[in-house]
Structure 1
Amino acid sequence: MSDTASFAALTEEEKMEHFMKCIEAGEKIEADDWMPDEYRKVLIKLISMHGISEIMGALPEKEWVPKAPTLGRKLGIMAKVQDEMGHGQLLLRVAEDLMKPYGKTREEIMQDLFSGDLKFHNVFHMEAPTWGDAGLIGWLVDGAAIITQTNMLGASYGPYARALKRICAEEVFHAQHGEAIIMALAEGTPEQKALVQDAVDRWWESLLMFFGPGSASTTGSSKQDITIKYGIRTKTNEQLRQDFFTKYVPRVLSLGLKLPDETMYFDQEKEEWIYQQPDWSKFKEIVKNNGPKSQERLNLRRISYENNAWVREALSGDTAAG
């Protein structure tokens, strides 16, 4: 977008009109460009939540690093955890640039997480008690994330779109890693296959919730209309959920597994999956940090953040000295 003196002389209404024309033309908005507060704030919320979810999402799998059944699996899950943490750091830098006009930094993002003001994805509040869970997180949770994130590869905000390009490429490998674990278990002993079925049964409702409510009336809050309006995404939550069903329901069934929703079927006439809605009241409680592992993982993140304060202080001192 233009940052010339002539642009600065425009009224707020004229700037908004110019901004929307850029969005509609498919132009990228950069960090230093003029943008309406609504756009900036929805991006900060979205990208901060995404970044924190990448970091918090590494914790369920981190629990399986010392318990992975083979050295190869251990190395694979260690690499995945490292990638997820890197994704989080990358995204928080993007969010931090957006926060500069408000005088805020990543410190505020972390404090918002600890206070409960900043949410992280519902799936990362859940327990992962078996190796089947570790595989399912990689296969279906990361699979759901890929569907969501590829929908934003063309996001109007350039820094986010570029970050997503790298993240999505790595998430494909993560999904393949999870699928390999699931395939090995599904083709193994009856006990191993039972681990996968048990994981699918326990995670199914959370996977449906992953994409968010169909509308604001479901949970009282939804920003999907705003993000579509500004070209940050192109599909609704329900469209993304339907894409997930189309891709993964046949794969789940092909392994001889059962879906925990016996009412589910594909309506040929409507060309959509009919399914049992998850308990959205449970979703609201989970994202308020009342999930099975919410407090334990937040405490782990808090302890890590406090223990590494000296590193941040040292780096800050070096920057000031330089």
Structure 2
Amino acid sequence: MNALLNDMAEQERLNHFIARIEAGEKIEADDWMPEDYRGTLIKLISMHGISEIMGALPEKEWVPKAPTLNRKLGIMAKVQDEMGHGQLLLRVVEDLLKPSGKKRDDLMQDLFNGDLKFHNVFHMEAKTWGDAGLIGWLVDGAAIISQTNMLGASYGPYSRALHRICAEEVFHAQHGEAIIMALAEGTKEQRKLVQDSINYWWESLLLFFGPPSKKEVGSSKQDVTIRYRIRTSTNEELRQAFFSKYVKRILSLGYTVPDETLQFDEKSKNWTYQQPDWSKLKVLARNEGPRSQDRLSLRRISYENNKWVREALAPEVI
């Protein structure tokens, strides 16, 4: 009998929770929330936060190699911003972790152990200055499309953090676009840098949004992030938005997209395209990408070398 009453009370709580988010209310860290909502937020925001930090590393490699002082200052500022975004998001996760007793250090150990993933694009190499520009232009552009989709997220702390992050990401994308435009207006060799970068990064950009949803026949089950109003669009809808925003821009600069099948279908109002090799996501999830281990090693060394700072700032236990 007690178990039945507990189930009824839990269902009533869940119904009230759903009613709140459907009414547009924001859920705060101390509010009751279902465990699948909490777990989804922890997984999503942890990956986002770690990806901001790991995503700064490919461009960090270009700080000493940037072609001019102004470019050096610009990319240094961008790296600092990305690190700040990561710290802000991990702080949001810390509040969600409190009931479990886990802390930020546990998240970092999860990263080093391979349990916490980071975005596929940041496992790749940034071999040329063209790659550095394209990361800002198209990779950050893809991130903006994904993140602005969650500006109205039902979880208040994440929504508020995203408003700050997205405002800065717009500058990052403009910074990358400025690099690409300078190369596009340059020598034949400089123009080739951009085309080579587009060819190299294109598949990674498609993988960035994740695979299309596999809806079971006769099932109306929705993705939990959409059901709980953490985001509003599916992976495929976000990818279509990316095509609509950037394909014409790429072509207008005289470059090509490495997909002869890519075209806009007037009937469906969608882009048709060659599917990427989705199995690569599993390879990258195992940290077996071109620069996965190098980036993890750099992050691990930095974390250990700065352990004394964390200990000095930790509250004294009396």
TM-score when normalising by structure 1: 0.93
- 1:117-156 to 2 correspondences below 5 Å: 117-156=115-154
**Counterpart secondary structure, 2:223:** helix
- Matched AA of 1:142: D
- Which whole-Å deviations, capped at 9, do the CAs of 1:188-225 have from their partners, x for residues lacking one? 001000000000000000000000110258xxxxx980
Q: How does 1:303-318 map to 2 (within 5 A)?
A: 303-316=301-314
Q: Which residue of 2 aligns with 1:220?
A: none
Letter of the 1:113 partner, please give it: L
Output aligned runs, 1:139-288, within 5 Å.
139-215=137-213, 225-288=223-286
Q: Which amino acid aligns with 1:210?
A: F
TM-aligned CA deviation for residue 287 of structure 1? 2.1
Indicate the RMSD between aligned Cα atoms, in angstroms.
Answer: 1.4
Which deviations, in whole Å up to 9, do the C-alpha atoms of 1:76-100 show, x marking residues without a partner?
A: 0000000000000000000010000
Shift of residue 60 of structure 1?
0.1
Match for residue 86 of structure 1? 84
Which residue pairs with 2:28 in the alignment? 30
What secondary structure, in the 3-state scheme, does the structure 2 residue paired with 1:64 have? coil
The alpha-carbon distance between structure 1 residues 155 and 190, as it changes in their structure 2 partners (threshold 3 A), is same
Give the Cα–Cα distance (whole angstroms) in 1 for the partners of residues 286 and 224 of structure 2. Answer: 23
Unaligned runs of 5+ in 2: 1-5, 216-220
- Per-residue deviation, 1:226: 0.6
For residue 320 of structure 1, give the secondary structure of its aligned residue in structure 2: coil
Query: What residue identity is the alignment partner of 2:47?
Result: M
Return the offset for 1:321.
6.0
Match of 1:299?
A: 297
Contact 1:224 1:236 in 2 (8 A): no
How far apart are the structure 2 equivalents of 1:160 and 1:214? Answer: 24
In 2, the alpha carbon distance for the partners of 1:110 and 1:207 equals: 26
Report the CA distance shift for 1:302/1:45 in structure 2 as closer, same or farther (over 3 A): same
Matched residue, 1:11: 9
Aligned counterparts of 1:274 and 1:97: Cα–Cα separation in 2: 42
Q: Secondary structure at the match of 1:117?
A: coil
Moved over 6 A (4+): none
CA distance in 1 between counterparts of 2:254 and 2:260 reads 15
Structure 1: state its 5+ residue gaps.
Answer: 1-7, 218-222
Alpha carbons 1:261, 1:275 under 8 Å: kept: yes
Count of residues in Structure 1 that have an aligned counterpart in Structure 2: 307
Amino acid at match of 1:183: M
- Measured in 2, the distance between the counterparts of 1:30 and 1:12 equals 19
Q: The residue matched to 2:190 in structure 1 has which SS? A: helix
Q: Distance in 2 between matches of 1:216 and 1:182?
A: 36
Letter in 2 for 1:141: V
1:216 and 1:106 mapped to 2: Cα distance?
A: 33
Corresponding letter in the other structure for 1:80: K
Identity %: 76
Contact 1:224–1:237, Cα closer than 8 Å, also in 2? no
Structure 2 residue aligned with 1:5? none
Partner of 2:56: 58
Q: Distance in 1 between matches of 2:180 and 2:16?
A: 50
Q: Cα offset for 1:301?
A: 0.2
Query: For residues 179 and 146 of structure 2, what CA distance do their matches in structure 1 show?
Result: 23
Match among 25, 28, 47 for residue 49 of structure 1? 47
Q: State the TM-score, normalized to the length of structure 2.
A: 0.95
Deviation per CA, 1:122-150: give whole Å up to 9, x if none. 00000000000000000000000000000
**Match status 1:320 vs 2:307:** no
For 1:104, the equivalent position in structure 2 comes to 102
Distance 1:124 1:231 in 2: 27
Over residues 218-243 of structure 1, what are the superposed CA-to-partner deviations in whole Å (9 max), with x where a residue is unaligned? xxxxx980100000000000000000
**What is the distance in 1 between the residues matched to 2:186 and 2:287?**
36
